[in-house]
Every structure is written in C-alpha cells, then in structure tokens.
A = this chain, B = another copy of it.
Amino acid sequence: MNMPTSRDVAQIAGVSQTTVSYVLNGRGNVSDATRARVLEIAASIGYRPNQAARSMRTRRSGRIAVIMGAGIDTHLRLLAGAAEVAQDAGYAAESHHVDGTPDERGHRVLDLAASGQYEGILTIAPVPDDLEPPQGSDCLIVPAATFDADLHSVGPLADGTLIGDLVERLAAAGHRTFVHVSGPDQYVSARARSAVYTEAVQRLGLHSLGLIGGGWGAETGRRAILELPAQDDTIAVIAGNDDLAIGVLRGAAERGWTLPDDLVVTGWDNHEFGAYTTPSITTVDVDFREAGRRAMRTLVAALGHDDAQPEERGLMRIIWRESTGPLPSGS
C-alpha cells in the first residue's frame, strides 16, 4: 500500500509541502502553531519520510557496509554495537560476510566502495593494511582495529596491554617458561598482543618458547601443545583466545600433563564456556559490543566531518580462574 507523503501531510494541515519539510528538518522559520499542527498530523497519519527520495535529493545514501568474516563468534557482538550506533546516527548498516583471505576481503571492500552505494565501510574482519579507497570515491573505509603511522595499534580492539599483566602476574607466581599461541597475524589485535607478549617476556627476563601462529581454532591450541618438546619446568601458555586455550587444555590432557604443575594457560575474550571447563579458564573479558560502538562512532564522526572524541574507559579486564593455578594475592 502507499505510504503517506509529506505532501499528504501538507494538504491535511493546509500548508505547503515545503513547510512540512521545514518542520521535519528543523530548518527555516516556522511558527510554533504551524509546527505543532504539522507534527501532530504527521504522527496521526503515520507519516515517515521516504529514505530513497531523501537520499536522492541529498545525494547521501545513508548506507554503511560492515565487513565481517564468517567464522568468528565475537564479531556478532561487534556488529550489534556498530549497528546500534549507525542506526542512532540515521544510517542503515548492512553486513557483508566475506570468507577467505584479507586480500579477498580487500577486493570486496574496494568493489563496495567503487559501487558508490555506501558512504562508509567498517571492516571488522581483517583487510590488507594498506587498503585505500579507489580514486575519486568518497567512501570512507574504517577498520575496527588498525595501526597508526607509528605502527602502534589503535582502535578499541587492538589493546593488548593486559597480556603484559597476565605475564607479570604469572611471573610473580614463579613461572619462568612461557609460550604464546597467538592466532592469525592478519588480525591487528593478534599482532598487538604478540608484541606485548614479546616485550613483557624480554623485560622480565623470562624464557620464551616462542610464538605459535595458525588459526583461531581450538585445534591450533591442541597441536601447539602436542608439538612442544618435553619440559622440566611448568609452561605458562598465553593463548590468543579461549578456543585456543581449550585446545591447549585438551592437548595437555592428551599428554598427561596436569594443571597447574605441568602447565598453566590463559585465554582471551571471556567466552562463556571458559567458566565451565574443568579447570575453568583464566581469560580477558572484552566488551565487544562497546568496541563495535566505538568503531562505528569513529566512522560516523568522520562522515559528519566531526572529530571523534577519544573514549577513555578500558574495554577489557582480566578474569582469573582455575587454569592459572593459585597466585600470590595482591596485584
């Protein structure tokens, strides 16, 4: 059926369609009486501005694409936060799910940018670092996590500093031998955490068995443990997420290693299952939804030519559980 138009509202209110437009956009000078009548009538007949017409006239599509990978559960919460902010800012957020390598995603992103349909693109799944919007496109591409000009990781997800706290605390508990199962290094967040790990291990003079990359999946964690040479010392495993950590746990069980004597392990993301494994998994809780909001705020601010005010509150906190064994009290 036909939706009412602003012209219908005008007709009923006995004013010109222009006036209705003024009222709805808060522009121009309209008397209070007229404004009130227009608003009332608009509401009563269920008038909603037609987005297509509006964007045709304003030449702003009001659409933002959000690029997701397909496999990572936490991305759903990022998307939820991002979509919320986009909507509140009057944008429609469309999610595009692209499997494959960052390069493949990069092509897709470039194509979307070239399509001219989108005012902006938020990439949650990793794309190549040097992705530049095509010539003459004014589509803004904002990665949810990235590096700044000095190669410092930035963005709400890229904060790996808590890895340092994890390592320090475990070192304080007497652990000396560490290993980092890091996740795919296409992810800025993974690289950021690896960098912090490396720095912390060196600073504290600890022994590191190295960085083990691979996928985000549990099997990577399991294999990492199975392929480790036999150790005398307890190994402290810093895993890049909880899936890797549960794989580590499984690998340890298969080797007959027990916690916390032979091995301790930390995860990341605070996936629900980690609180219910035996032993439960020490992890870092990440407020993904808020991270999604912040990333989208950055994009929306850029589109409005505003500066995004930097947000202060940290999005992460360590949750100590059984997988790290007993620790000395205090911080």
Which A residues contact B (CB, under 8 angstroms)? 1, 3, 46, 48, 50-53, 55-56, 61, 63, 68, 70, 72-73, 75-77, 79-80, 83-84, 87, 92-97, 114-117, 136-138, 217-218, 221-222, 242-243, 246-247, 249-250, 253, 271-273, 275-278, 289
Q: How many copies does the complex hold?
A: 2
> Complex: how many Å from CA A115 to CA B4?
11
Question: In the complex, are the beta carbons of B95 and A92 less than 8 A apart?
Answer: no
Closest B residue, CB atoms, query A74: B73
Contact among B48, B77, B117 for A48, CB-based, below 8 A: B117
Question: In the complex, are the beta carbons of A249 and B276 less than 8 A apart?
Answer: yes
> Complex: how many Å from CA A51 to CA B117?
7
Take A249-B278, A250-B278, A278-B250 as given contacts and tell me if A97 and B114 are in contact as well, using a CB distance cutoff of 8 Å: no
Contact among B79, B114, B247, B278 for A276, CB-based, below 8 A: B247
26 contacts between A and B (CB under 8 A): A3-B116, A50-B116, A52-B56, A53-B56, A63-B92, A68-B76, A70-B289, A79-B95, A79-B97, A83-B95, A83-B96, A84-B97, A87-B96, A92-B92, A92-B94, A93-B94, A93-B95, A94-B94, A94-B95, A221-B276, A246-B277, A250-B276, A250-B277, A250-B278, A253-B278, A278-B278
Closest B residue, CB atoms, query A87: B96
Contact among B56, B63, B76, B222 for A73, CB-based, below 8 A: B76
Closest B residue, CB atoms, query A222: B276
Known contacts A52-B53, A52-B56, A95-B95, then 4 further A-B pairs from the complex at CB < 8 Å, ordered by chain A residue: A1-B138, A48-B117, A70-B289, A278-B278
Residues on B with C-beta less than 8 A from A289 are 70
Question: In the complex, are the beta carbons of B80 and A68 less than 8 A apart?
Answer: yes
Closest B residue, CB atoms, query A65: B92
> Complex: how many Å from CA A102 to CA B275?
28
Take A138-B1, A272-B217 as given contacts and tell me if A70 and B80 are in contact as well, using a CB distance cutoff of 8 Å: yes
Closest B residue, CB atoms, query A51: B117
Residues on B with C-beta less than 8 A from A137 are 1
> Complex: how many Å from CA A53 to CA B48?
18
Residues on B with C-beta less than 8 A from A275 are 218
Question: In the complex, are the beta carbons of B250 and A272 less than 8 A apart?
Answer: no
Contact among B52, B253, B277 for A55, CB-based, below 8 A: B52
Q: Taking the nearest CB of chain B, how far is it from the CB of A140, in angstroms?
A: 13
Question: In the complex, are the beta carbons of B276 and A218 less than 8 A apart?
Answer: yes
> Complex: how many Å from CA A16 to CA B306?
42
Question: In the complex, are the beta carbons of B273 and A115 less than 8 A apart?
Answer: no
Contact among B63, B97, B138, B253 for A80, CB-based, below 8 A: B97
Residues on B with C-beta less than 8 A from A272 are 217-218, 243
Residues on B with C-beta less than 8 A from A46 are 114
Question: In the complex, are the beta carbons of A83 and B97 less than 8 A apart?
Answer: yes
> Complex: how many Å from CA A79 to CA B75?
12
